[in-house]
Amino acid sequence: MVERTGLAILAFLGWVGEVSLFGLRAMREAFRPPFEFAEITRQLYEVGWRSAPLIATSGFSIGVVLSMHTRASLERFGAEAMIPAGLTIALIRETGPLVTALLVSGRVGAGIGAELGAMKVTEQIDALEAVAVDSFKYLAVTRIIACILALPILTTITNVCGILGGYLAETSISGMSLELYFSRAFAVVEFSDLIPSTLKTMVFGMIIGTVACYLGFTTTQGTEGVGRTSTRSVVMSSILIILANVVLVRLIFFLFPPV
């Protein structure tokens, strides 16, 4: 049992190593011409714009729910006035970035994995190479860059919609005005809360794009393999996002110590 667990951990670490090399190669290739701007723009539309409705709806719902939970907790201490600030800090620092990354991992990671997997098993990736197009650069680098650029924007949408949802929940109970809600919400928020936690989602974007593209490029065994790739893209990128978040939060606290 112990031996089997050890072997599984070693296999996972080996796999993470391969994915990391794939991602590093993508970063190196990203700075070499040709830059494939048209394809990056198309992927930004697919990854970013088409995820926006899901992200906005989820962010709004989370804001409403967080507000209700926060009120239930703070009411016991007579600290209802802290609800806007507590909700905003929770959203901006952790909930917004993590929820956005996990949602994008589900929508985009699965999509990229399935798309590239299908292209691999139907020889479309070989066909790209045959017309003298660098398939790695055209398919993988563009998607990884799009994920890296889209995640901070989508996280900001989650945060804004979440704060608005929190306001609606709060004003429906206490009648708090929009002006008062926002002044209380941002009274304690600093740039060190907002910038590092938003920028860390670029790492999440890189994880989502790299894992999905790696699995897509290494798909085998026909349509069954494509299905497996799609599922694994979501599972593995979600695990790696959650693990990376632990390291990133520790790093943020080290670089921006809480006052």
Partner 1 sequence: MNHLRQGSDAHVDAAAHSDGDGPAIRLEGVSKSFADLKVLDDVTLDVAQGTGFCLLGRSGTGKSVTLKHIMGLMMPDAGRVFVHGKNVTELKRQELGEVRRTMGFLFQNAALFDSITVGENVAFPMRRHTDWAEEKILDTAKARLADVGLTEAFDKMPGDLSGGMKKRAGLARAMALDPDILLVDEPSAGLDPITGDEIDELLLGLKKKGTTLVMVTHNIPSARHVADELAMLHEGRIIAHGTAGELDRSDDALVRAFMRSESGG
Q: How far apart are the first and last CA of the chain?
A: 46
The one among 85, 133, 194, 195 contacting partner 1 by CB under 8 A: 133
Instruction: Choose one: 128-136, 158-166, 183-191, 210-218; the region binding partner 1 (CB under 8 A).
Output: 128-136
Give me the least distance between CB of 210 and partner 1, in Å please. 20
DSSP string, the chain: -HHHHHHHHHHHHHHHHHHHHHHHHHHHHHTSS---HHHHHHHHHHHTGGGHHHHHHHHHHHHHHHHHHHHHHHGGGT-GGGHHHHHHHHIIIIIHHHHHHHHHIIIIIHHHHHHHHHHHHTTHHHHHHHTT--HIIIIIIHHHHHHHHHHHHHHHHHHHHHHHHHHHHHHHHH---HHHHHHHHTTS--HHHHHHHHHHHHHHHHHHHHHHHHHHHT--SHHHHHHHHHHHHHHHHHHHHHHHHHHHHHHHHHHS---
Nearer to partner 1, 80 or 134 (CB): 134
The one among 130, 173, 188, 247 contacting partner 1 by CB under 8 A: 130
Q: How many residues does the chain have?
A: 259
Which residues in the 98-127 window bind partner 1 by CB under 8 A? 115, 118-119, 122-124, 126-127
Give me the least distance between CB of 28 and partner 1, in Å please. 13
Nearer to partner 1, 143 or 184 (CB): 143
Number of residues forming the site for partner 1 (CB under 8 A): 15
Give me the least distance between CB of 148 and partner 1, in Å please. 22
Give me the least distance between CB of 85 and partner 1, in Å please. 46
Which residues in the 54-73 window bind partner 1 by CB under 8 A? none
Give me the least distance between CB of 25 and partner 1, in Å please. 12
Cα–Cα–Cα angle for 23, 148, 131, rounded to 5 degrees: 60
Pull the structure tokens for residue 72. 């239930």
Q: Is 174 in the site for partner 1 (CB under 8 A)?
A: no
Q: Is 35 in the site for partner 1 (CB under 8 A)?
A: no
Q: Is 221 in the site for partner 1 (CB under 8 A)?
A: no
Q: Is 129 in the site for partner 1 (CB under 8 A)?
A: yes
Q: How many CB atoms lie within 10 A of CB 92?
A: 24
Distance between CA 39 and CA 143 in Å, rounded? 8
Give me the least distance between CB of 140 and partner 1, in Å please. 14
Give me the least distance between CB of 27 and partner 1, in Å please. 17
Nearer to partner 1, 115 or 170 (CB): 115
Nearer to partner 1, 55 or 114 (CB): 114
Q: Is 259 in the site for partner 1 (CB under 8 A)?
A: no
Give the interface with partner 1 as residue ranges (CB under 8 A): 115, 118-119, 122-124, 126-134
